[in-house]
Amino acid sequence: MTTQPFSRIQIARLEGRAQSVRLRQSLFHSLHAALIASEGTIKRAIAADTGSSDADSSFEYSLALSELRTHYESLDLKTEVERAHTLENPSGTTNLGIVYLIPAQRNPFYSILSPLCAALAGGNCVVLELPPTLSQVSSVLRKLLSEALDADIFAISDNRPPEPFLSQCHVVTQVEEQSRPISTSASSLTSRPSATTVAIIDRTADIKAAAKSIALGTHLFQGRSHYAPDILFISEWVANEVLVHLVREVATPTAATKRASPTANGHANGPPTKPKPDIRAQALRNFESKEGCKVVVSGEHGSVVEITSRDAGLLGCKTDGPVTVIYRVSSLDDAIDLSNGLGTPLDALYIFATPEEASYTSRYIDARVSYINHIPVELLVGPSAPLHPTIPTTATPRYTPEMFRQPQPRIATASDLSKSVLEDSKVPMQQKLSSWSQAAARPLPPTGQGDGKALGFFDAAFLLFGGTLVSAIGTGVFFAVRHWRRR
């Protein structure tokens, strides 16, 4: 690809064109109209690339469209103008400039649209790395995005650009590349596709509802979602009951987990598609070939595998198909120890238990996000959420405009100390700082913690038990002496 689009991108960055709210709104309108006009084409491309059902394709398409709307509605011209003309703005931010996007191959439509819309809403130019492939989604998006978006704001790169250009970009990568690492001089927003996701079912959980959520999370999108549970820890007290419900869910899947059935001419929608490998069989073979694994049930819509060995290699194995992998634990503490041994932080933790047990478990397992008694279906689409030091993981939108902004505060009001120092030039500096220094040297306020002399729980129990015991012994001795004297 020629360097001309990148030259236009760099000029637009220097001019700050992408920061215009009206331009951003116009881009969103154009992109939204293009996506609506190409709805059928996009859904057929998603189904052709992944072999997913009509419901899965529609869900991915609609989720991306929903996030586009969310980002558009966050744009407020009046507020932006007020902030721009306000002299005092300690929380002011500005754009990052150019965002270079390296998308994941899984759910590519959503994986591209989600960060693209967030970056545009944040006032940035975007360069998308999209090498020529046989993917129909890539082909559709290459044409659609190039036509819908301003060439000064958006460009597509067939190959990884040179180091000098990347060093000027904020790189968003959804893949782990060992062979082509990103420039260390470039700022980045990365995902962890190899991170583990864990689910826990305690004996206090609603077993039927928990099994239904696990089955949906494991089998939606053919079980290939990054956030599908990789391992399910079940309390041994309810393990058999959970297995009964899981087997039932696998045997009679809901409409959401069923794959599209082919029509009479051999394909579901549109032109015939290339046959896909049996993802379920491939995923199952990965466990059948290993010791310590037992296949509980295997069917057309999924499988349930029980791990009987405490081998960390088996427990931490990343699943890639509609396979529910379970392991029986003796207690919540056992589940906590095993979860923390899988390589933390976990990308997500699903806990099915009463509020007290769920709160306890989530506090002691190192996970980026914990969901109690449910698995968000929005989370099952697209890449792992990006690692950000201050912005938490959300199911939707996966990327937010704040991720593509940086602080740029404006402070117009001088501090009291600065005012006192500048007031009278004849007063010595030490004298000006005297009261301020004395205030800083004052003792810190008390913590409010007790002095340790209060009666504790075990102290009270000991005194109660000891008092009762002494009283009983004293009473016994009294009656014994009295009886002895009467003799």
- CATH code of 219's domain: 3.40.309.10
pLDDT at residue 280, as a whole number: 64
In a domain? residue 166: yes
AA letter at 136: Q
For residues 158 and 130, is the Cβ–Cβ distance under 8 A? Answer: yes
pLDDT at residue 325, as a whole number: 92
In a domain? residue 351: yes
The Cα–Cα gap between 94 and 122 comes to 8
Domain that holds residue 202: 197-259+279-380
User: Residue 129: how many CA atoms within 13 Å on its side-chain side?
Assistant: 20
Q: Which among 407, 424, 459 is the end of a domain?
A: 407
Total domains, the chain: 2
Q: Are residues 283 and 366 in the same domain?
A: yes
The Cα–Cα gap between 112 and 59 comes to 15
pLDDT at residue 264, as a whole number: 33
Q: Are residues 108 and 167 in the same domain?
A: yes
Q: Are residues 373 and 247 in the same domain?
A: yes
Q: Are residues 225 and 372 in the same domain?
A: yes
The Cα–Cα gap between 131 and 1 comes to 10
In a domain? residue 182: yes
Sorted by sequence, the CB contacts under 8 Å of residue 177 that are 6+ apart come out as 102
pLDDT at residue 98, as a whole number: 97
Q: Helix 21-37 vs helix 136-148: angle between axes, to the nearest 10 degrees? A: 140
Q: Are residues 307 and 283 in the same domain?
A: yes
Q: Are residues 355 and 298 in the same domain?
A: yes
Q: Are residues 126 and 235 in the same domain?
A: no
In a domain? residue 99: yes
| CB under 8 A, 24+ apart: contacts of 374-378 | 374/213, 374/350, 375/199, 375/213, 375/214, 375/216, 375/217, 375/227, 375/229, 375/350, 377/59, 377/216, 377/220, 378/63
pLDDT at residue 239, as a whole number: 95
Q: Are residues 220 and 133 in the same domain?
A: no
All residue ranges of the chain with pLDDT < 50 are: 1-3, 255-256, 259-275, 277
Q: What's the order of all strands across the beta sheet hosting 370-372?
A: 293-299, 302-307, 323-329, 231-235, 197-201, 348-352, 370-372
CATH number of the domain that residue 62 is part of: 3.40.605.10
Beta strands in 287-445 (DSSP E): 293-299, 302-307, 323-329, 348-352, 370-372, 405-407
In a domain? residue 385: no
Q: Are residues 344 and 243 in the same domain?
A: yes
pLDDT at residue 279, as a whole number: 66
pLDDT at residue 263, as a whole number: 38
pLDDT at residue 184, as a whole number: 56
Q: Are residues 224 and 171 in the same domain?
A: no
- In the block, residue with structure tokens 């478990």: 361
- Specify the DSSP class assigned to residue 167: T
pLDDT at residue 484, as a whole number: 80
pLDDT at residue 298, as a whole number: 82
Q: Are residues 186 and 219 in the same domain?
A: no
* Residue 449, phi then psi, degrees to nearest 5: -75, 145
Nearest by Cα to 199 from 63, 376, 356: 376
For residue 471 the two structure tokens come to: 């009283």
pLDDT at residue 469, as a whole number: 82
In a domain? residue 436: no
In a domain? residue 266: no
In a domain? residue 480: no
Q: Are residues 189 and 204 in the same domain?
A: no
